[in-house]
Amino acid sequence: MSEQPNSYLIDDIKNGMLREGVQHVSSLLTAEDLHRARTEVLDFYYRELDAGLFFTADEAKKLDLFSAMSSHSRRVERSNNLMHSSMAWFSKSESFERLSKVMQSLVGPDLDMFLARVIVTVPLDHIPSYIREIYDPMKNKLHGSINKFLRNEILRAFFFIHNPWHQDWVDMPSSDLRFFTTLIPLTDRLNGQAPLYVMPCSAAIEPLPLPIPHSENDVEVTLEDGPVPRVLEKRRINAKAGDLICWPARTFHKVEPNTAEEPAINLRFNFSPAGARTGLNDMSNLVPISRSILSRLVESGPTDPGSPQYVSCDHLELKVAR
Ligand SMILES: O=C(O)CCC(=O)C(=O)O
Ligand SMILES: [Fe+2]
């Protein structure tokens, strides 16, 4: 079992994040947590696959799923969300404690977590051809979310065919952009396993609407949204199961289709400083992770057994006695 991220590693993560606006940390999860989480999500996935993961083309037509304007949008309700139900153990795990430590080093001691989900990039072979045709080619597509084609009425995770270049502010358009996305692959992301790409040093680029006008080759992406093209490095992240990848709200990234046989599975959590505007509608999704000494004093007073528990004040005037 590997140790807590030590201060040397934390310094590397901080400096690397400042330099590039993205970090890849090897083996964050404990072997036990990785095994348990991966087994649970794979069991869930193959149960759904056996029951028929997607509507047939005829069913989809009847439900009007082909129209971009289709009102058949699918939400993952909190009570059904794997991360808030059968996998809620993860947020109490040693691995989550490590994740929190890394985030505290990047955000500060007043830390909230406000989004927890399982993301599955489905193997192309498991996706009916009528769906593949809608989302191909990836370029110029708004997104690659295929939740609306899922047969099961109860959504527990988020399903993708791919994910074109984007910044994660699109998930939280009403936020003040002060958040990190953290992604923990539970399956390797090598070869054809839903290749993950980032544009290092893109963390300060203004929020760009989708689809992102661009051209790209193996090593560079050129943003073509304005009169002056901007050229950025394009880098594949070859992540292994149990690694951590994190980036702030504006760092560009994309996920290519999964040509492997197994689903590509990730845990995804968003973190922000306490008091940030997260853009959440349902505040029950906001989980306090840690608090500074100042916050704890202001919220609950001194904790020394000898100190009076609670000092009340029945007027709003501050009187200073000398
Ligand atoms: O599937 C992935 O690896 C990343 C998905 C993504 O872009 C996201 O969670 O924001
Ligand atoms: Fe994203």
List, as one string, the DSSP characters of 192-258.
TSS-EEE-TT-TTSPP-PSSPPEEE-SSEEEE-SSSS-EEEE-EEE-B-TT-EEEEETT--EEE--B
- Quick check: 313 pLDDT over 80? no
Residue 265: HSE in the Cβ half-sphere, 13 Å Cα cutoff: 22
SS3 23: strand
Predicted model pTM: 0.93
Q: Which chain residues have CB less than 5 Å from ligand 2, an ion?
A: 168
- Quick check: 45 pLDDT over 70? yes
**What mean pLDDT value characterizes the chain?**
93
Mean pLDDT of 111-120: 98
Give the pLDDT score at 1.
Answer: 46
Mean pLDDT of 280-301: 92
Cis-peptide into 211, omega within 30 deg? yes
308 CA distance to ligand 2 centroid (A)?
Answer: 48
Check the CA dihedral 96-102-105-108 and report its sign.
Answer: negative
- Quick check: 51 pLDDT over 80? yes
- Quick check: 4 pLDDT over 90? no
Q: How far apart are CA 133 and CA 124, in angstroms?
A: 11
Candidate of 24, 76, 160 to mutate for ligand 1, largest count of ligand atoms within 8 Å of Cβ: 160
Q: With CA atoms as reference, report the closest residue to 21 among 176, 184, 205.
A: 205
Q: 187 CB less than 6 Å from ligand 1?
A: no
* Residues 55/58/59/65 CA torsion (nearest 10 deg): 80
Query: Which structural domains are found in the chain, ordered by start?
Result: 7-291 (2.60.120.620)
Mean pLDDT of 248-265: 98
Give the pLDDT score at 299.
Answer: 85
Name the DSSP class of 142.
S
- Ligand 1 nearest-atom number relative to CA 253: 7
Mean pLDDT of 147-159: 96
163 CA distance to ligand 1 centroid (A)?
Answer: 7
Task: At 317, list the tokens.
Answer: 């005037």
Tell me the pLDDT tens digit for each residue of 191-201. Answer: 999 999 999 99
Q: Euclidean distance between the first and final Cα of the chain, in Å? A: 57
Q: With CA atoms as reference, report the closest residue to 178 among 91, 81, 318, 274.
A: 274
Between 319 and 15, name the one with better pLDDT: 15
Partner residues linked to 270 by β-bridges: 115, 181
Tell me the pLDDT tens digit for each residue of 62-103. Answer: 998 987 666 667 889 999 999 999 999 999 999 999 999 999
Between 160 and 7, name the one with better pLDDT: 160
In 3-state terms the chain splits into helix, strand, coil percentages (rounded to 5) of 30, 25, 50
Mean pLDDT of 279-296: 95
Q: 107 CB less than 6 Å from ligand 1?
A: no
Mean pLDDT of 2-13: 78
Q: 122 CB less than 6 Å from ligand 1?
A: no
Q: How far apart are CA 149 and CA 257, in angstroms?
A: 17
